[in-house]
Amino acid sequence: MKRLCFGSYAKIFALRKSAAGKSQKNISSSIALSIAPDYFIGDEDRTTSDWVICKKNLPDEVITGAKTILENDECKKFRDAFSKSVLPLINENKYSDIVLALKDIIANDSEIQPTAVVDKVSNTTKADLMKMDTFDIADFLAGVILYAVTVVNNADGKLAIKEIDDDYMSQFANRESEVHFVDKIDSTAQSTTEDGEQFSSGVEGEVVDGVRIENDFQPNLQQNIYNQTIDVKGNNNTVSGFVFNSNNRG
């Protein structure tokens, strides 16, 4: 049986630590302090080891810190702090291993219902997560740890944590093609042009500098790009762009 908790989460991170090499202690304490910056860990080696092997529950200060983030709607702020303090500790070439492992643990955690929101940053349910293959890595990892800390008693993972080891993680290696990463996921975001017209910038197309480009767009003209730009000035605006040869070749 798999169990999503702080210990299983931190151990996955430790098994896929950065090439620079960060200990399990560093990773566990960094995760906890990203949630509760003012918490004093004390005997770091013993304390964080007890968390990772699920011998002890997390301290009230960390749990309260996570709940406060949710109550004050500070998930995006936490996500940014997490991205700066915790993500650098992980080998970025192993992001897919971590995502696939967390998906597997969540899928096999019988205590998590399909409707449970397991990613508190992106508000993703367990059922929706099982269908996903595209992730903002910072959103996802920050969101899952907020769930693990606020919903799960860490000590409940004491038996399951033994299953998280190098052999377990090896099954997720060389499966990068199954996971795609983006800088930001926002399928409902609305953008506004200078004319006041609104349009969606979701997965069906891309908005670049106010211009919507459909994914299936195919230019009818042969366009040769030269290493030259032009500036068109007027009405206090400057427009820069490439010079194209737009002769119809076809």
What pLDDT sits at residue 115? 98
Range in 32-41, 63-72, 140-149 with the lowest mean pLDDT: 32-41
DSSP 180: E
**Across the chain, what does the average pLDDT equal?**
80
Q: Which residue has the higher pLDDT, 130 or 212?
A: 130
What is the C-alpha separation between 187 and 171, in angstroms, rounded? 31
What's the average model confidence in pLDDT over 63-78? Answer: 97
Q: Is the pLDDT of residue 100 over 70?
A: yes
Q: Which two tokens stand for residue 41?
A: 């860990």
What is each CA distance from 45 to 15, 22, 41, 157, 161, in whole angstroms?
A: 17, 13, 9, 20, 18
Chain centroid to CA 244: how far? 39
Tens digits of residue pLDDT in 189-199: 444 444 444 44
What pLDDT sits at residue 235? 53
Range in 40-49, 68-77, 88-97 with the lowest mean pLDDT: 40-49
20 pLDDT tier (thresholds 50, 70, 90): low
Q: Where are the domains of the chain?
A: 6-181, 190-245
What's the average model confidence in pLDDT over 93-108? Answer: 97
What pLDDT sits at residue 23? 75
What's the average model confidence in pLDDT over 9-38? Answer: 87
Tens digits of residue pLDDT in 120-152: 999 999 999 999 999 999 999 999 999 999 999
CB burial string 127-151: b at 16+ within 10 A, e below: eebeebeebbbbbbbbbbbbbbbbb
224 pLDDT tier (thresholds 50, 70, 90): very low
What pLDDT sits at residue 190? 44
